[in-house]
Amino acid sequence: MEKKPHSVKRDFPPREASTLLLVLLLVTVLLLNALLYLYLSNLHGSSGRAEADPSLCPFGYFKLGPVKNCSPWLSCEAINREVRKLKCVGEGAVKKVFLSEWKENKVVLSQLTNAELKDDFLHGLKMLKALQSKHVVRLLGYCEKQFTILTEYHPLGSLRGLNETLHIPKYKGMNTWHRRLMLAIDYVSVIRYLHSSPLGTLVMCDSNDLDKVLSQYLLTSDFHILVNDLDALPLVNRSGGRLVKCGHRELRGEFVAPEQRWPYGEDVPFDDDLMPPYDEKTDIWKIPDVSNFLLGHVEGSDIVRLHLFDIHAACKRKDPAGRPSAQEILDTYRKVLTLLIREAAMPGAREML
């Protein structure tokens, strides 16, 4: 009787199986690292969000929406002729903001409301023109003699509404520790850009409380952060002995840096002439508070906070000289993002190795 052939089954010895498993795991880790590197490079460029934006036009020009060609910044005549106000959407101490329309595009028209603050308005325009980049809202035109500025419209509005936006069904999928950490990276990228801008080291002075800080930034539809209000952006030149003071009134509260508070006690009345100036490290003091808001309270956000604990503690050093630079903070944020993405993708990798 003819014997039926048996199927051959190869059993690897335990040591050979372990070696094979380790090799496969290492290959997987290498591939994951390569993909992660490409992913982060694509999202951030070399500095969070790269200053050199390929979608930007040469100085004095802009393009909006799907249009490929660049147009020159709109002049007084073009703004008066082609821009139509729709409704007022905000008003601050310096300017009133109108949702407007230009050639079927939604745009934002800002106009000075207090003549006494025209220098602040013109300073903001100067900064807006000089700092055009991926970190700054896009300038579309301006009219100095009418104190008018035209900028790109972002329907999600300021960062103050982030949590409300993330509760809208359309955006609930964005409400993750990963996306929120990306926003924190964007925020620190803006601070780093201002501290090493083409104009020099700039301090974000309009930032005396969390709500005020958040109102200075816009949330884009693809969930990035742009700085929008540049009216109070003085220049620090440490080598030239030039420091700054954010306004001429006494600042109070734990949100502002210690060096921004009156140093001579309650018994001595505040006197702006006696108030010592300071540098850009005031921005560093505020980063942990802003990041804490951006991280929110979602699954995984406490793990992110734990990884950021040391760098945030360094930001809160009383001596400004002991605080890290915005670049050091940005580097740490990126490393934490890379580490946590890797661990999320391969939660058992460490134990297996």
Q: Where are the domains of the chain?
A: 69-152, 157-344
pLDDT at 49: 40
pLDDT at 224: 97
pLDDT at 343: 87
Nearest to 193 by CA among 270, 130, 147: 130
pLDDT at 240: 85
3-state secondary structure 327-348: HHHHHHHHHHHHHHHHHHHCCC
Pick among 3.10.300.10, 3.40.190.290, 3.30.200.20, 3.30.70.2190: CATH of 69-152: 3.30.200.20
Handedness of CA 27, 33, 39, 42 (dihedral sign): negative
Give, for all 353 residues of the chain, the pLDDT tens digit.
555 555 555 555 666 666 766 656 665 655 665 555 555 555 444 433 445 565 678 999 999 888 889 999 999 999 999 999 999 998 888 899 999 999 999 999 999 999 999 999 999 999 999 999 999 999 999 999 999 999 999 999 999 999 999 999 999 999 999 999 999 999 999 999 999 999 999 999 999 999 999 999 999 999 999 999 999 999 999 888 899 999 999 999 999 999 999 999 999 999 999 999 999 999 999 999 999 999 999 999 999 999 999 999 999 999 999 999 999 999 999 999 999 999 887 765 544 44
pLDDT at 66: 80
pLDDT at 34: 54
In contact, 155 and 106? CB cutoff 8 Å = yes
CATH class of the domain whose range is 157-344: mainly alpha
In contact, 291 and 184? CB cutoff 8 Å = yes
**Three-class secondary structure of residue 101 per DSSP:** strand
pLDDT at 291: 98
